[in-house]
Amino acid sequence: MRENPDKPIALIDMDGNWLQWGVRLNEILLRLDPSFPIVADDRRTGWDDLAGPGADPAVLREAMNHPDLYNGLEPVPHSVDAILEMADEGWDVFHCSTPTWSNPGCVPGKLDAIDQHFGPKWVDKLILTHDKTVVLGDVLIDDKGIITGAVVPTWKHLIHDQSHNRSVTGKPRMTDWREWRGHVYPLLGAVSV
């Protein structure tokens, strides 16, 4: 049972959604192998489209598990302001992210990013899960186009537009964090503020 059923819950994915994870991955890939055939974020055609033809899978694996992958990630433009605005407007906002358990820097990096951009009180609002369908919420803002899991989710999925999710159709999509109100309130059946 929800403590406050009148307060909507927003679940906000982190990597690629409000943090520029792909930029850091590409930096590390090129550091490990200057000739690595990276796929620029704006050219990715699928969630796992991280390397071009002839890529060495061992280099990709090393980059994915590099302890610096999650350190000092920069936010997507306007994302932090938008998330803080949601909280100011009465939303119960949680960061809901899938961890990479094989990367020792993943969880500390996510916690540090939240602390750096939102403050220490927000660190307690991190949910780490490999199945977002089991997390209670009203709206999930995520750059992953299709999210499946053990149950039918309580939340409605708002796709944060990225090149890798453009093949997914029939779902609401947000291209700019400054437009969040016009996307999330209609999902609740409410008029935006």
Residues forming the active site: 13, 15
With a CB cutoff of 8 Å and minimum separation 6, the contacts of 63 are 25, 28, 29, 32, 69
> Which residue in the block uniquely carries the two structure tokens 């960061």?
95
- Residues constituting the chain: 193
Structure tokens at 132: 């977002």
* Angle CA 22–26–28, to nearest 5: 115
Structure tokens at 41: 């974020």
